[in-house]
Amino acid sequence: MLGNWLKTTILMAGIVALFGVVGATLGGKGGMMIALLIAAGMNVYAYWFSDQAVLKMYNAQEVTADNSQFRSFYHMIKELAENAQLPMPKVYIIDEAQPNAFATGRNPEHAAVAATTGIMQALTERELRGVMAHELSHVKHRDTLISTISATIAGAISSIGSFGMLFGGGHNSDGERNINPAVAILIMILAPIAAMLIQMAISRAREFEADRMGAEISKDPKALASALEKIHNYAHQIPMETAEQHPETGQMMIINPLSGGGLRGLFSTHPQTEERVARLLAMVI
């Protein structure tokens, strides 16, 4: 528990520092102060509202116990949450052909799990149980706070070039620009890469641990391993348009939903599926 909160604190501090450096470089002391205020506001927003923002981004529809079409899925989540000794999270469905799922929320009392319609068609009931147990593991470890904050802030960092227009590059007392245009361009290039590195650093170990605990919650590591293999194969064949438009949210999914071209393939936020499967199968007695 303490480790997760420490990671969250370090992430927030790193984001604020990055915003401050960029603001100071592009706009001097005034730019730094504006950047720090914006970063502080974004961290507050990310803590309280980023989960709902992500669900809205994916046009997720809430499912209740009264929903006839997804009643069995809802009760599956309820059973798994009881196994994990968790409060019942809100349950959402995303109308996407690509099989995938994620969890979000700032703590177990304000958590949500979401699955695509594609994953329900592609997986068996056992495999789907394994996937949703994995997502509930993220809730139990409070990884959802880390992932929603990093997704929100990374999206802002990817648009860091807007600071250049906001600050106008900054001017000295003689009215001259105090930043080399080449430096500004370099910052605009490196800032999104820094965001990807932050996400990569906090995501991989988190996925391994969620696999392990998910297998314990579902009591079926073999089914989760099979599900990961299926989702991995489908994800490379079926695009997820929303994830492609908002790549910062890709690290929230159980399998990377992105096409993997260019820098996305170099800075993967997920461990190799083969290694994840191998670790799960090693748990089978």
Show which residues are catalytic: 135
Which residues neighbour 125 within 8 Å (Cβ) at sequence distance 6 or greater? 76
Which residues neighbour 172 within 8 Å (Cβ) at sequence distance 6 or greater? 178
pLDDT tens across the length of the chain (285 residues): 545 556 656 766 776 676 666 666 666 666 666 666 766 676 677 778 778 889 999 999 999 998 889 999 999 999 999 999 999 999 999 999 999 999 998 889 999 999 999 999 999 999 999 999 999 999 998 887 776 666 666 666 665 555 554 555 555 445 544 566 676 677 667 766 776 676 676 677 788 889 999 999 999 999 999 999 999 999 889 999 999 888 878 888 999 898 655 444 445 668 889 999 999 999 986
Residue 4 has a pLDDT of 53
From residue 23, give the alpha-carbon distance in Å to each of 32, 102, 105, 164, 177: 4, 33, 30, 9, 14
Three-class SS state of 170: coil
6: amino acid identity, one letter? L
Residue 190 has a pLDDT of 75
Which residues neighbour 203 within 8 Å (Cβ) at sequence distance 6 or greater? 147, 150, 251, 269, 270
CB-CB contact of 38 with 22 (8 Å): no
Can you tell me the distance from the alpha carbon of 69 to that of 43, in angstroms, rounded to the nearest whole number? 37
Dihedral sign, CA of 52, 53, 58, 59? Answer: positive
Q: Which residues of 103-139 are buried (b: 16+ CB within 10 A; e: fewer)?
A: bbbbebebbbbbbbebbbebbeeebbbbbbbbbbbbb
Reference 151, options 239, 50, 67; nearest CA is: 50
Return the bridge partners of 61, or none.
Answer: 93
Can you tell me the distance from the alpha carbon of 163 to that of 39, in angstroms, rounded to the nearest whole number? 12
230: amino acid identity, one letter? K
Is beta strand 61-63 parallel, antiparallel or unpaired with respect to 101-105? unpaired
Residue 260 has a pLDDT of 59
Can you tell me the distance from the alpha carbon of 127 to that of 164, in angstroms, rounded to the nearest whole number? 48
Residue 144 has a pLDDT of 76
How is residue 51 written in tokens?
Answer: 């989960």
Residue 206 has a pLDDT of 81
Residue 265 has a pLDDT of 46
Three-class SS state of 222: helix
Residue 263 has a pLDDT of 47
